């Protein structure tokens, strides 16, 4: 069985086990380690396997986090996220080709941990690093936009997200930000939009 098929099989098995096992369990930890091993081998293959990295993120980390964060134990949640951050950080050495995605996932993990500005700033650093490695990653622009407080900056980031090489659907967030800005700037809004769009699209 080739490595891609092994990876897909383990992802399927992990998805099923996640419903019954605690994320801390030795069994799930072993399966995540096995998936990282297979993914490291996949990263050496010719071609684009970004979809496998996305599947890995969703099955091994995103789904367990969402299930676990529904509980009320913030201490255990923080510990779990710290463990996941450690695993993902160790995985950075796998491949330069996919390191932008790993930085994106690390940004997500720190954003989930964000109980204070320190974690938010760390998350932003990882998202910015992801964009430094791959400026066409629309989701990184979207996440930075979600964390931005300034309406103007939010709109610019959502526009970049929508128009990136790999776009992310930021249309609802963009519309919400435009509405919020309009409420605060009724008199100047029309002229502002013209000036802003020119700045966002044509100025670097």
User: pTM to 2 decimals?
Assistant: 0.84
Per-residue pLDDT of the chain (204 residues), as tens digits, is 599 999 999 999 999 988 888 877 889 999 999 999 999 999 999 899 999 999 999 999 998 888 877 665 555 778 888 999 999 999 888 778 899 999 999 999 999 886 777 888 999 999 999 999 999 999 999 999 989 888 778 888 988 888 889 888 877 777 777 677 666 665 566 556 656 665 665 555
166, β-bridge pairs: 137
Between the CA of residue 87 and those of 26, 81, 124, 143, what are the distances in Å?
A: 14, 10, 19, 22
Is the distance from CB of 171 to CB of 162 less than 8 angstroms? yes
């Amino acid at each position: 069985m080739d490595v891609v098929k092994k990876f897909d099989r383990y992802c399927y098995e992990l998805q099923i086990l996640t419903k019954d096992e605690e994320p801390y369990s030795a069994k799930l930890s072993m399966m995540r380690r096995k998936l990282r091993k297979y993914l490291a081998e996949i990263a050496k293959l010719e071609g684009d396997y970004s979809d496998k990295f996305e599947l890995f993120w969703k099955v091994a980390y995103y789904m367990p986090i969402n299930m676990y964060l529904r509980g009320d134990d913030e201490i255990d949640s923080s510990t779990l996220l710290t463990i996941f951050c450690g695993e993902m950080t160790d995985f950075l050495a796998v491949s330069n080709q996919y390191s932008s995605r790993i930085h994106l996932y690390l940004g997500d993990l720190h954003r989930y941990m964000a109980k204070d500005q320190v974690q938010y700033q760390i998350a932003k650093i990882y998202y910015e690093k992801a964009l430094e490695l791959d400026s066409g990653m629309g989701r990184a622009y979207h996440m930075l936009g979600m964390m931005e407080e300034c309406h103007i900056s939010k709109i610019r980031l959502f526009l970049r997200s929508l128009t990136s090489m790999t776009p992310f659907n930021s249309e609802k967030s963009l519309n919400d930000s435009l509405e919020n800005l309009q409420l605060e700037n009724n008199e100047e809004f029309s002229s502002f939009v013209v000036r802003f769009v020119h700045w966002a699209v044509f100025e670097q």
